Structure 1
Amino acid sequence: MKLFRISTVPISLNILLKGQLRYLNQFYEVTAISGQGDELDEVEQREGVKVHPIAIERRISPLKDLVSLLQLYRYFKREKPDIIHSITPKGGLLAMIAGKWAGVPVRMHTFTGLIFPHKDGHFQTLLIWMDRVLCHCATHIYPEGKGVREDLERYRITAKPLKILANGNVNGVDTTHFSQSAVDAESIEILRAQLGVREDDFVFVFVGRLVRDKGINELVTAFKNVASTPLSDRDPTLLSDQNPIPLSDRTSAGVSNVKLLLVGPPEQHLDPLEPAVLSEIDANPNIITVGFQQDVRPYFAVSDALVFPSYREGFPNVVLQAGAMGLPSIVTDINGCNEIITNGHNGLIIPVKDSAALENAMRRLAVDRDLYGSLREHSRPLIESRYRQDRVWEALLEEYREAGGGVIE
């Protein structure tokens, strides 16, 4: 049987579905479809699957979208796939329409995140109707997590069944690859020396694009305060029944050895940071930037906790990866993050765009060693029990087999 996996741009296939296509290719004749590029070539070589480039614009572009739609239709009509499965908004819309026109029997789409809840006005209305058309043309619809499903239901995108595979996330996490034991101890020490990180430093790490929507403005502001403002016995954020910290631990020494490690590319042209934040990143000796890294595991290995104050996500891989590496996380109360992290169990959850709450959470982890130890103890076991990659792949394979036996029109 033929299985086509479709995304708008090849990086989605290359990063989000790493390893999955090779696994599925044992059971189906898999073809990966997206725009052309080195990333698609890498998918072909690493996954051992067929690829077929079709240019798809990420932005709304009526003429180019029509061309892409016709190309998808002709290819589906000629190749007659048994299942098509898309994972990105524009690629999904065009693939589902083309698949319905071409008579593809099983047409699946996974919503890895939604754009329209964060827009307004006519643009939001347009995006809602695009997703409604997508769902109308699909036979099976999969929200990546509970938050995505709730948004689809709240905005009445479709009346069709919405099924979350496994516990959410499109690919799970390879807990063998993302493990402290998988990183050589000597290389960790070399990296520590290169970064200027001491053994007694408490290192917060952020992995992702350095942009406003990832909460970098709030993160840098909070870290500046944590690193420069001593904790006092009268600190109201720490003197509470809900957050008892021994007086002996509430000292300036408790936060004098913190560092912030930023792993990811800046994108000032797309979603700029505040000028004061950029200046702080450049001037603060305790903020370390290393840019994009192909392998983030060594940076997790030299860190103590992930900080991920994003404004919106579908189901963030970085939180899964950090947990698999044994790191607790501070995350915002958004889709995906609040499904992976249980507040007070394997991390802390704070409100979105709240630098004061973020500062308090960072102080708590840096100072309260009992709290930190408890969160860290539960981090990896939770990921292993819920999001291990092989379980996600097996659930997807079973879904394909079930879908092939009966189609919802």
Structure 2
Amino acid sequence: MKIALVITDYGSFNNFLGDLAIQLLRDGHEISVITSEVRVINIQDKFNYLEQGIKFFYVDFPRGFNPLSHYKSSKKIKKILDDIVPDLVHIHFTTGIFTTLFSGRLKYKTLGTFHGLGFPVLSGVKKQIFAFVERFCFNRLDKIYVLNEVDYKAVTLLGYDNVEKYETLGLGCDLSVFNPSNFSDIQKADRKKLLQIDPADFVFAYTGRFVSFKGFDKVIRSFLELYKSNDKVKLLLIGGNDVIHPTGLNEQELQQMGDCKGIIHIGFTIDVAHYLAITDAFVFPSSKEGMPVCVIEALAMGVPVITADSRGCNEIIEDNYNGYVVNVDENAWKDVKESMAVISSNPGLIERFRGNIEKDRLLYDRNRYVMSERKRYNELVS
């Protein structure tokens, strides 16, 4: 079977779909990937994809709303697909789906996975824009896939009966990589020493792009305030800036972040698990997620999570069970700070959360997603 995977950038393919593509290839399918050469998630390749036999075709996916740019990219994608002649096309992300289908439906069976819809969670003009764009996409897909219950109900209420919610926790993560047993006490002590973290320090971590809708600004404000009264805390920032979206911090806050000795900048890295191994609590108060992989990775490493009472996040984290769920309003950073203060001063609480997380560990496995996709593709084509 010929399967074409379409995703907006190479970095996202490598991070989210690389495992699936390799498994499908090993199953005997012919896999083509249409993507851009951009690496929004700039980490080392998980596999030697070309050597394995995956074919890549590169197209620019416009991030703005220039109809001509979308049209040109859409026509180029259709030309590539006509050369491939796939049995199945699976497109990921709203931007990827919108661009691919801009010039019309495909003549191949087409699936679209929305990793987080806009219209159910936005308001005002943005809600109207996303509602138009996303309904435009729905109308040109054979099957609509969403990651969470909020999106599923929203699409169903619009009258679409071809929508399905993944039974898995989103795309999950690789439990062989995100496994606390991989890291000895000596290895963790050495890494802390390298980062100049004292053994007695309590370590928080944030993973992802430094953008306001992922709660980055709330994390920084909360930590800076906490650090004033407790300099035995550290914050690992694993990720980096996004040129399109703002951080949500003003110039003074950015300066304070740069000057704070408690904040350690890691950058984008494939070694996320190594840093989560020395993390005591993960902080990710995002207001706009589908099903956050970074939260699943933290849980897989046995790390309790402080997150927002928002779509996707509150389907993974149960308040006072495997972490804390806080408000999502503009003053939420105060609740985040309070939760950080409580969890960093209560070792017994951490142990209870870790015990609950361990009970649910198998739910985080990316293999569950890979297996469900393999089954889905075979059923759809047959």
In structure 1, the partner of 2:251 is 275
What's the CA shift for 1:399?
Answer: 1.0
Q: Which runs of 5+ in 2 are unaligned?
A: none
What's the CA shift for 1:256?
Answer: 5.3
Question: Cα 1:79–1:287, aligned 2, differ >3 Å: closer, same or farther?
Answer: closer
**Larger CA deviation: 35-44 vs 392-401:** 35-44
Determine whether 1:357 maps to 2:332: no
Q: Which runs of 5+ in 1 are unaligned?
A: 230-254
Q: RMSD across aligned C-alpha pairs, in angstroms? A: 2.5
Q: Partners of 2:202 and 2:278 in 1: how far apart? A: 9
Checking the alignment, whether the CA contact within 8 Å between 1:69 and 1:94 is kept in structure 2 is: yes
Q: How does 1:216-365 map to 2 (within 5 A)?
A: 216-229=216-229, 255=230, 257-267=232-242, 270-272=245-247, 273-352=249-328, 353=330, 354-365=332-343
Deviation track 1:105-131 (CA, whole Å, cap 9, x = no partner) reads x21111101234455555543332221
In structure 1, the partner of 2:88 is 83
In structure 2, the partner of 1:251 is none
What's the CA shift for 1:344?
Answer: 1.4
Q: Partners of 2:298 and 2:43 in 1: how far apart? A: 27
TM-score, length basis structure 2: 0.89
In structure 2, the partner of 1:166 is 167
**Larger CA deviation: 355-364 vs 275-284:** 275-284
In structure 2, the partner of 1:242 is none
* One-letter amino acid matched to 1:140: K
Structure with the greater alpha carbon radius of gyration: 1
Question: Cα 1:98–1:267, aligned 2, differ >3 Å: closer, same or farther?
Answer: closer
Question: Cα 1:50–1:288, aligned 2, differ >3 Å: closer, same or farther?
Answer: same
In structure 1, the partner of 2:367 is 390
In structure 1, the partner of 2:16 is 16
Q: How does 1:171-210 map to 2 (within 5 A)?
A: 171-183=171-183, 185-210=185-210
Question: Cα 1:8–1:137, aligned 2, differ >3 Å: closer, same or farther?
Answer: same
Q: Partners of 2:4 and 2:253 in 1: how far apart? A: 44
**Larger CA deviation: 366-375 vs 299-308:** 366-375
* One-letter amino acid matched to 1:291: G
Q: 1:114 aligned to 97, 100, 117, which one?
A: 117
What's the CA shift for 1:299?
Answer: 1.1
TM-score, length basis structure 1: 0.84
Q: Partners of 2:24 and 2:243 in 1: how far apart? A: 38
Give SS of 2:269's match. Answer: coil
Deviation track 1:207-230 (CA, whole Å, cap 9, x = no partner) reads 12223223233222222333334x
Deviation track 1:183-223 (CA, whole Å, cap 9, x = no partner) reads 35444222211222122211111112223223233222222
In structure 1, the partner of 2:7 is 7
Question: Cα 1:95–1:309, aligned 2, differ >3 Å: closer, same or farther?
Answer: same
Checking the alignment, whether the CA contact within 8 Å between 1:327 and 1:380 is kept in structure 2 is: no
In structure 2, the partner of 1:126 is 129
Q: Partners of 1:114 and 1:183 in 2: how far apart? A: 37
* One-letter amino acid matched to 2:293: N
Checking the alignment, whether the CA contact within 8 Å between 1:5 and 1:31 is kept in structure 2 is: yes
In structure 2, the partner of 1:214 is 214
Question: Cα 1:54–1:258, aligned 2, differ >3 Å: closer, same or farther?
Answer: closer
What's the CA shift for 1:292?
Answer: 2.4
Give SS of 1:264's match. Answer: strand
The alignment of Structure 1 onto Structure 2 pairs a total of residues equal to 374
**Larger CA deviation: 267-276 vs 212-221:** 267-276
Q: Partners of 2:228 and 2:44 in 1: how far apart? A: 48
Q: Partners of 1:279 and 1:41 in 2: how far apart? A: 30
Q: Partners of 1:270 and 1:335 in 2: how far apart? A: 20
What's the CA shift for 1:98?
Answer: 6.2
Q: Partners of 2:335 and 2:22 in 1: how far apart? A: 43
What's the CA shift for 1:152?
Answer: 3.0
Question: Cα 1:31–1:40, aligned 2, differ >3 Å: closer, same or farther?
Answer: farther
Checking the alignment, whether the CA contact within 8 Å between 2:57 and 2:80 is kept in structure 1 is: no
Give SS of 2:199's match. Answer: coil
In structure 2, the partner of 1:143 is 146
Checking the alignment, whether the CA contact within 8 Å between 2:231 and 2:262 is kept in structure 1 is: no
Identity %: 25
Q: Partners of 1:404 and 1:361 in 2: how far apart? A: 48
Deviation track 1:283-307 (CA, whole Å, cap 9, x = no partner) reads 3222222222231112111110101
Give SS of 1:8's match. Answer: coil
Give SS of 2:372's match. Answer: helix
Give SS of 1:110's match. Answer: strand
